[in-house]
Structure 1
Amino acid sequence: MNKLEKAIEHMQNQKFEEATKLFTESIEENPKEPVGYINFGNLLMHLNELERAERFYNKAIELDDTAATAYYGLGTVYYEQENYTKAQNEFLQAIEKGLDQADAYFMLGMTFVHQEYVKLALPYLLRAVELDPNDVDIQFQYGLCLAQNGQIEGAEETMKTVLQLEENHSDAYYNLGVVALHKEDAALALDYFNKALECNEEHMLAAHGKAQIEQALNGE
């Protein structure tokens, strides 16, 4: 195991000081290798040192402008800073440079969601689902995006998939309740809102939806 591999192992085990030391040594010994800068950038992201991470990713790109994971790292920095337009550009670059991974498509889709371009987000979130169908967060955000695009049947099916992956997902139950209301099935909606509250008794939206339905059913 070389220094870089050992440093990555330390980072995964939350041994950040040891990781920092080995990453630094690796970069000093191989200053023209972008992978050292990318991994040090990843460590700085873990430590929430975003501006320093940005410098390391940029250095990696300076050394190799085809380093897809450096663009992905840079996109993540901008995403954390809520600079979604810049993040979008970096995630696009990462994909164009060959990073065909679910996370890249998911993050790109989410930059469009945050900019309220839900139609543009949909194909990227769909691609993320295709690449990693068992990721709960990806499935859930895809389901929300389907709903925002008026694809109610697809949203309903996707939220049920979320529950197959995580049976106590309160937000999936809540959104199924909203779908049921859309279909004018108040009894089913009430059942879903109750299930959301069983999973999370502090789910305020589900509690509000339940109260509204009960008032309507009681003729209040």
Structure 2
Amino acid sequence: MDKNQLGVQYMQEGNWEEAAKAFNDAIEENPKDPVAYINFGNVLSAVGDDEKALKFYQKAIEIDENAAAAYYSIGNLLFSHDRFEEAKHSFEQAMRKGLDSSDTYFMLGLTLIQLDQGRLALPYLQRSVELNEHDAEARFQYGLCLARNELIDEAINQLTKCIELDPIHSDAYYNLGVSYAFKENQAEALAMFNKALEIQPDHVLAGHAKKLLEQIQ
């Protein structure tokens, strides 16, 4: 088996030490292969060595300036450190270099939300769910972003699809409840808050919203 493939297999098993060894072997066998550097960087990031991971991603870009996955990995790393403006630039670079994946659109959308640019995030989150219709979390974040931009009917549609994909997504039920309350559909809102609490009894926001709704009925 190819050393990169072997390393990825070890990563999927959570065997970081063997994964690192496999990617190191891949680099020694072919020092001009950017994929091995990206993979090694992903292992380092997974075990918390982000500083060294960044160097491996940058090395991959030195070898191949069109290594789109390296820009994406840098974006993830920067996002995890709340460096959102830089993360945005990296995800945009990944797209320019041809990484047309649902994950790239999703992460760029999330980054724009963190930068208080929710309306700009909408088309990226929309594209994310178009490319991967079965991603419940992408549906949730898209629905949430729609709701924050007062596109309530569209938000309800996405959040409903989210709970079809993930029936125990308590936050999706809670936000569905908020959306129904916004439309003054109190019965449906209460049902959604109750469902959120059934799944997660300590869901503070759902509990508070349920009490408020019961007081005004």
Partner of 1:161: 161
Partner of 2:173: 173
Establish whether residue 120 from structure 1 lines up as the match of residue 120 from structure 2.
Answer: yes
Partner of 2:133: 133
Range moving further from structure 2, 166-175 or 49-58: 166-175
The alpha-carbon deviation at position 23 of structure 1 amounts to: 1.4
Establish whether residue 188 from structure 1 lines up as the match of residue 173 from structure 2.
Answer: no
Partner of 2:89: 89
Q: Output aligned runs, 1:49-64, within 5 Å.
A: 49-64=49-64
Q: TM-score, normalised by structure 2?
A: 0.97
Establish whether residue 201 from structure 1 lines up as the match of residue 213 from structure 2.
Answer: no
Count, aligned residues = 217
CA RMSD of aligned residues (A): 1.0
Q: Please, which runs of 5 or more residues in structure 2 have no aligned partner?
A: none
Deviations 1:134-187 (A, max 9, x none): 101000000001111110000011111111111222111111111111111222
Amino acid at match of 2:122: L
Q: For 1:136 and 1:48, how far apart are their aligned partners in 2?
A: 27
Q: For 2:14 and 2:74, how far apart are their aligned partners in 1?
A: 22
Amino acid at match of 2:66: T
Q: Please, which runs of 5 or more residues in structure 1 have no aligned partner?
A: none
Partner of 1:78: 78
The alpha-carbon deviation at position 37 of structure 1 amounts to: 0.5
Ranges of 4+ aligned residues in structure 1 off by more than 4 Å? none
Partner of 2:16: 16
Q: For 2:195 and 2:22, how far apart are their aligned partners in 1?
A: 49
The alpha-carbon deviation at position 188 of structure 1 amounts to: 2.1
- Matched-pair identity in %: 48
Range moving further from structure 2, 103-112 or 3-12: 3-12
Q: For 1:124 and 1:34, how far apart are their aligned partners in 2?
A: 27
Q: For 1:2 and 1:187, how far apart are their aligned partners in 2?
A: 58
Q: For 2:213 and 2:74, how far apart are their aligned partners in 1?
A: 46
Q: For 2:180 and 2:16, how far apart are their aligned partners in 1?
A: 48
Q: For 1:188 and 1:21, how far apart are their aligned partners in 2?
A: 54
Q: For 1:57 and 1:22, how far apart are their aligned partners in 2?
A: 17
Partner of 2:31: 31
Q: For 2:168 and 2:15, how far apart are their aligned partners in 1?
A: 33
Partner of 1:40: 40
Q: For 1:33 and 1:64, how far apart are their aligned partners in 2?
A: 9
SS at match of 2:116: coil
SS at match of 1:167: coil
